[in-house]
């Protein structure tokens, strides 16, 4: 069938139509679909559920959806291709469907209804995810914030307890940061913090987590022993020496390490690393020390 004929059954832009849902939502199948789509607040889960539903009710073999920074795919992408837009409260989602066979007029109407059903739970899920990330991440450095650090360390300790895996933390702060702020201003200070956050993101392994827990104070949760934490410290110090901004203004960091001991609390683990940090400062800064107690 000609592509143009396959797309004549519906317009290129469909708007969220509550009245359409009101008139159709008494259908038990549609009620079940709506319930499925609202069961999760994870955008990918919502979209995967949508794809499965569309594949069950229509000859659709694949779907691509783009919405703001999100991109979702489901199924296989070959054969006939048609494009749609969904608009809700000024937000636009762009969909591309791959068809196993051309749509009949009744199927085109069903497509319109089903894709209208997905838009609200999908927007809700993306908004919830963004709000959750804002609650867990520091906007300046894009690292986890203090609350996220506390929760992550609790989970890491629980995992290490179950599996007897080594766990360490590294506490870092920027030496003489207050003086840098006073001399060069807070905007310069924010630039330093932002670049240091990027440096930590590149220095840590995929299994580690970095957090900004205070003004110029950072913590890395290391899934490994003291040796693994020391290697991380060496990478951080080496990376700092290669950044022109840090070298020009003598931006330095001191680091303290502690390895988790069986049955030790998160507070005790942090306090030991903090003591090691101050030993590093007493040793001349721009170095690391480990607590061996």
The DSSP bridge pattern shows strands 209-212 and 288-291 to be unpaired
Measured CA to CA, the distance from residue 84 to residue 86 in angstroms comes to: 7
Q: Of the residues 138, 208, 216, 291, which is catalytic?
A: 216
| DSSP string computed for 41-87 | --HHHHHHHHHHHHHHHSSEEEEEEEETTEEEEEE---SEEEEEEEE
Count CB-CB contacts under 10 A for residue 171. 25
Calculate ∠ Cα 254-227-206, nearest 5°. 85
**Annotation marks residue 216 as catalytic:** yes
Q: What are phi and psi of 10, to 5 degrees?
A: -150, 160
Q: Which residues are catalytically annotated?
A: 216
């Amino acid at each position: 069938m000609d592509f143009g004929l396959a797309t004549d059954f519906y317009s290129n832009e469909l708007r969220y139509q509550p009245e359409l849902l009101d008139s159709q939502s008494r259908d038990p199948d549609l009620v079940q679909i709506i319930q499925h789509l609202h069961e999760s607040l994870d955008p990918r889960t919502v979209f995967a559920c949508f794809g499965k539903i569309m594949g069950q009710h229509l000859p659709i073999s694949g779907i691509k959806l783009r919405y703001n920074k999100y991109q979702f795919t489901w199924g296989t992408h070959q054969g006939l291709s048609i494009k749609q837009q969904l608009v809700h409260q000024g937000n636009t989602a762009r969909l591309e469907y791959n068809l196993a066979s051309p749509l009949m007029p009744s199927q085109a109407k069903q497509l319109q209804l089903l894709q209208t059903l997905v838009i609200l739970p999908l927007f809700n899920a993306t908004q919830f995810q963004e709000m959750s990330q804002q609650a867990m991440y520091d906007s300046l450095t894009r690292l986890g914030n203090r609350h996220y650090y506390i929760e992550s360390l609790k989970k890491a300790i629980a995992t290490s307890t179950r599996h007897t895996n080594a766990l360490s933390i590294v506490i870092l702060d920027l030496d003489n940061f207050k003086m840098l702020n006073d001399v060069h201003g807070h905007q310069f200070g924010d630039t330093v913090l932002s670049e240091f956050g990027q440096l930590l993101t590149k220095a840590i392994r995929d299994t580690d987590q970095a957090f900004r827990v205070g003004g110029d104070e950072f913590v890395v949760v290391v899934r490994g022993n003291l040796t693994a934490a020391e290697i991380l410290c060496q990478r951080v110090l080496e990376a700092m020496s290669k950044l022109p901004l840090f070298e020009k203004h003598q931006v330095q960091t001191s680091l303290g390490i502690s390895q988790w001991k069986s049955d030790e609390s998160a507070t005790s683990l942090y306090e030991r690393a903090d003591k090691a940090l101050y030993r590093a400062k007493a040793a001349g800064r721009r170095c690391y020390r480990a607590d061996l107690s």
